[in-house]
Amino acid sequence: AQSVAQPEDQVNVAEGNPLTVKCTYSVSGNPYLFWYVQYPNRGLQFLLKYITGDNLVKGSYGFEAEFNKSQTSFHLKKPSALVSDSALYFCAVRGPLGGNTPLVFGKGTRLSVIA
Amino acid sequence: KAGVTQTPRYLIKTRGQQVTLSCSPISGHRSVSWYQQTPGQGLQFLFEYFSETQRNKGNFPGRFSGRQFSNSRSEMNVSTLELGDSALYLCASSLRTGYEQYFGPGTRLTVT
More confident of the two residues A103 and A1: A103
pLDDT tens string A30-74: 889 999 999 987 789 999 999 888 899 999 999 999 999 999 999
B42/A34 CB distance under 8 A: no
DSSP state string for B40-78? TTEEEEEEEEETTEEEEE-S--TTEEEEE-TTS-EEEEE
Q: How confident is the model at residue A98 (pLDDT cuts 50, 70, 90)?
A: low
Tell me the pLDDT of chain A averaged across its residues: 92
Q: Is the pLDDT of residue A81 over 90?
A: yes
Q: Mean per-residue pLDDT for B2-16?
A: 96
What pLDDT, on the 0 to 100 scale, is given for residue A97? 63
A103/B106 CB distance under 8 A: no
Tell me the pLDDT of chain B averaged across its residues: 94
Q: Mean per-residue pLDDT for B94-99?
A: 82
Cβ neighbours for A23, distance < 8 A, ≥ 6 positions apart: A4, A5, A6, A33, A35, A73, A74, A75, A76, A91, A106
- Least CA distance to B4: which residue of chain A? A43
> Using beta carbons and an 8 Å cutoff, which residues of A are at the interface with B?
32, 34, 36, 42-46, 49, 90, 94, 97, 100-108
pLDDT tens string B23-48: 999 999 999 999 999 988 889 999 99
What pLDDT, on the 0 to 100 scale, is given for residue A55? 92
What pLDDT, on the 0 to 100 scale, is given for residue A41? 75
What pLDDT, on the 0 to 100 scale, is given for residue B42? 87
Q: Mean per-residue pLDDT for A76-105?
A: 88
| Interchain CB contacts (distance < 8 Å): A and B | 47
Residue from A36, A37, A44 whose CB has the most chain B CBs within 10 Å, to mutate? A44
